[in-house]
Amino acid sequence: MKNMEKFIDKFFGPIALYMNKSPFFKALTDAFLRMTPITLGASILMITGFFPIPAWQTWLQNVGAYSDFLAVQNATINTLGLFLSFTFCYSFIKINAKEYNALIAGLLSLASYLILIPQQYVLYDVTDTIVEFPATITVNSATDLSAFSTEYIGASGILVAIFIGYIVARIYVYFNNKQFVIKLPESVPSNVSESLSPTFIAGVILILAFFTRLIFKFTPFLSDYGNIFAFITGFIQIPLQDIVGSPLSLILILTLANFFWYFGIHPQVVYSVITPIVIANSMANIVAYTSGQEIPYLMFGIVGLACGSGFGGQGATLGLVISMVKAKSQRYQEMFKLVSIPSIFNINEPLIFGMPIIMNPIFFIPMAVGPLLMGLTAWGAAFLIDLSMFNPTGSFPWTTPALVVLLFRGGITLFLVGLLCLAVSILIWYPFFKIADNKALEEERSLDLNN
């Protein structure tokens, strides 16, 4: 293990050192950390609202409280892109240009982000729908609706939020350095002066955001997407359309989802492509099982559980959380206390943004490769033991740990396969975590000596 840590540190240490000194990545890390209270606070309510007991969720729906828990999720976890558009620009100015007003820069970034979000929709009143193919639909009326699309304010907008935040911060610093500001007499109160001073800069930034919106609306090819968010999503999804639903392709797709998530691109971009395949294969498995026939997509179902998000969330980060039990640094000891319970129920946003894992070179390999090896482990186990007793019926809330699902669907045999996959996850995460932990410990000791 020591040799592995030295090997990893040798190759990834210089990259991590560069990123730690980079103005961009220092600001990005700080921006994610500033959102941690939101993700941690929301996780408490999300565990309660989505506790993996069907009867509990049914009761919440019957009393009308389930939608209120969804409201909490929509206002916190599902709004991280919106928050990041502010915190990243704010942190960049706060760290790299302290002499300028970071709050105004953050607000300009947030406004630019909102300008780029689609805000016009058509609401159709439909009746007389015939459930057959081809379907016949009667549209009674169409109403224009003005609203911000919630589709793009969450994690699916993180990459755009980073891009907007960085561009706005750079423009803000550049024009401030060039004194492209309104200069007011010293007799004017400082809060008034600070607010009015960057008016010209604000105009430039918002005009650029406006023209960016127009470019994606009227430019050939780009207009097919309509907005920058759909462009990024479509650009990634198109190459995935022809992938078939075999176990190996599923493993590769889920690995690709983790790869994207590492760079701040929400895995939903990938999942939206495979969802129809997953549903079709799952239904075929259920029909075959209830008819007493051989399950046609047995390994597809098992592999999906083994390398999906059931082991602590996207990236199988439960292995990282368990590795943190051995943390020596105070930073990660406290982090373990905060993220351990949410991670059990597959809520790992506090971990993803609190470490952070996104764009952290130390965690690239376990984030991208971990689920790949877990899926191959489950697939390989099928050649050694009989997993045909798999029961595809019944549904479980997304907060249900994978080990629980595997136990109910495949008994003790599949549960043991799940434990093996978890062990693989721990083995992958542990050496990389030790490097991060040792670096944090060195920083803490250095601070103690300076104090």
pLDDT at 133: 46
**363 within some domain:** yes
| pLDDT value of residue 56 | 87
Per-residue pLDDT reduced to its tens digit, 44-80: 888 888 887 778 888 999 999 988 988 988 898 888 8
Query: Phi/psi of residue 125, each to 5°?
Result: -100, 110
Residue 130 has pLDDT above 60, yes or no: no
Read off the tokens for 297. Answer: 């997509």
Report yes or no on 403 lying in a domain. yes
For residue 246, the enclosing domain spans 1-26+241-451
Domain assignment present for 136:
no
Residue at 385 is within a domain: yes
Q: Structural domain tally of the chain?
A: 1
Among 124-133, 145-154, 300-309, which is the least confidently predicted range?
A: 124-133
pTM exceeding the 0.95 threshold for the entire prediction: no
Report percent pLDDT > 90 for the chain.
30
Q: Is residue 188 part of a domain?
A: no
Mean per-residue pLDDT for 404-430? 91
Report pLDDT for 327: 92
- Is 442 inside a domain boundary? yes
| Lowest-pLDDT choice from 127-131, 314-318, 396-400 | 127-131
What are the tens digits of pLDDT across the range 132-155? Answer: 545 566 777 777 778 887 788 887
Q: Is 308 within a domain?
A: yes
- Residue 387 pLDDT grade (very low, low, confident, very high; cuts 50, 70, 90): confident
Strands (E) located in 81-212: 120-127, 138-146
Give the phi and the psi of residue 396 in degrees, each rounded to 5. Answer: -125, 145
pLDDT of residue 358: 86
- Give the mean pLDDT of 24-36: 87
Residue 324 belongs to some domain of the structure: yes
pLDDT > 70? residue 245: no
- Distance in angstroms (rounded) separating the CA atoms of residues 221 and 337: 49
Q: Which of 108-112, 194-198, 377-381 has the lowest mean pLDDT?
A: 194-198
Orientation of helix 102-116 relative to helix 80-96, angle to 10°: 150
